[in-house]
Structure 1
Amino acid sequence: MKVAVVDINGKDTGRKVELSDAVFAIEPNDHAVYLDVKQYLANQRQGTHKAKERAEIVGSTRKIKKQKGTGTARAGSIKSPIFRGGGRIFGPRPRNYGFKLNKNLKRLARKSALTMKANDKSLIVVEDFDFDAPKTKNFLDVLKSLGVEDKKSLFVLGNANKNVYLSSRNLKTSEVVKTSELSTYKILNAKSLVLTEGSVEGLEEILSK
């Protein structure tokens, strides 16, 4: 699959980059994508929720009323879950929501997500660029030139670029990542995927294994 390369002004450079069919033109596996996104979201959960159970409540252990003759149910402790202020039955405890997926499945999920973007014509390849200094205005100009200023966009760089990253950090609808940080969730969460020329080779190297 060949895709035209544009510059940061949105103009065609006259060059085309060859996208590997093994990465950008496979048969998408929806279940692999589902599992990888599910794992990503599960890992975002802190799992610090906690409710006090009966043994953790501070209170008197005195029997609150006599066993018989009251006409009501027996009650032995003010800490009982049936009373207000008592412990909670089977309350939430701190836990880790993460689960394991093998590398081959995660690789398949990312390739499936990239293929979906390519099929939807939501993939743009731009030549490698840099800024002299971190400026949000410069990054906004790039978004406008590429026609993605009103869309949620994800820029993938071949190598870390501090000026480009800092220029995008204040924008809620755009994110800049390196090829090693790319995830299935981030690909699908963006309406437009912008790859730099340097990132294409890196992605194919990582995902073609």
Structure 2
Amino acid sequence: MDIKVVDIKGKETAAKVKLADSIYGIEPNDHAIYLDVKQYLAAQRQGTHKSKERADIAGSTRKIKKQKGTGTARAGSIKSPVFRGGGRVFGPKPRNYDFKLNVKLKRLARKSALSYKAQEKNIIVVNNMDLNEVKTKNFMSIMADMEIAYEKVLFVLPEDNKNVFLSARNIQGANVVTVDSLNTYEILNANKLVIVEGAVEKIESILN
């Protein structure tokens, strides 16, 4: 698949880039996407939830009433879950929600997500994203020139670029990642995918 390269002003250049059919032209695997997105969202959970069970409650351990003759059920501790202020039964405990997925499956999921974006014609290849200074206004102007302002856009860079990251971080809907951290969830969550020309080859080397 050939796609024309644009500059940061949104103007088409004479250059074209070939997007590999083995990455951008496959039959998407929805189940692989589901598993990869599920793992990504699970890994975002802090898992720090904690409730106090009866062993964690501060209180006396004395027997609160005599065993027989009260006309009610036996009770041995004020910390019992049946009493107000007592411990919780089977409450949540700190845990890690992450789970393992095979590398080949995660690779297939990213290829499927990129193929969906290619089918929808929502991929833009830009020749460079070099910014001389950190300025949100300038980054907004770039998005406006590309006619992607106020959309959810994922910018994929070949390597870290501090000026681009800092210029985009206060813009709602704009997300900047490097090729190494490209993931299925963020690809699908964006309306448009803007890939710097130098990142195309790196994506192919990682996914192939």
Alignment of 1:134-149 (within 5 A): 134-149=134-149
AA in 1 matched with 2:117: K
Alignment of 1:64-79 (within 5 A): 64-79=64-79
Measure the CA separation in 1 of the matches of 2:7 and 2:95.
47
Indicate yes or no: 2:24 matched with 1:24.
yes
Shift, 1:14, TM fit? 2.1
Indicate the SS of the match to 1:55: coil
Instruction: Name the counterpart of 1:114.
Output: 114
Give runs of ≥4 in structure 1 deviating > 6 Å: none
Instruction: Name the counterpart of 1:159.
Output: 159
Tell me if the contact between 2:150 and 2:172 (Cα under 8 Å) persists in the aligned partners. Answer: no
Instruction: Name the counterpart of 2:82.
Output: 82
Gaps of 5+ in 1: none
AA in 2 matched with 1:81: P
Indicate yes or no: 2:97 matched with 1:103.
no
AA in 2 matched with 1:8: I
CA RMSD of aligned residues (A): 0.9
Shift, 1:69, TM fit? 1.7
Instruction: Name the counterpart of 2:5.
Output: 5
Instruction: Name the counterpart of 1:123.
Output: 123
Shift, 1:198, TM fit? 0.5
Shift, 1:184, TM fit? 0.4
Indicate the SS of the match to 1:107: helix
Measure the CA separation in 2 of the matches of 1:186 and 1:129.
19
Measure the CA separation in 2 of the matches of 1:77 and 1:201.
67
Measure the CA separation in 2 of the matches of 1:115 and 1:83.
57
Measure the CA separation in 2 of the matches of 1:129 and 1:60.
66
77-86 or 7-16, larger mean C-alpha shift:
7-16
TM-score, normalization: structure 1?
Answer: 0.97
Indicate yes or no: 2:148 matched with 1:170.
no
Indicate the SS of the match to 2:55: helix
Indicate the SS of the match to 1:52: coil
**Sequence identity (%):** 64
Tell me if the contact between 2:29 and 2:109 (Cα under 8 Å) persists in the aligned partners. Answer: yes
Aligned residues: 208
Gaps of 5+ in 2: none
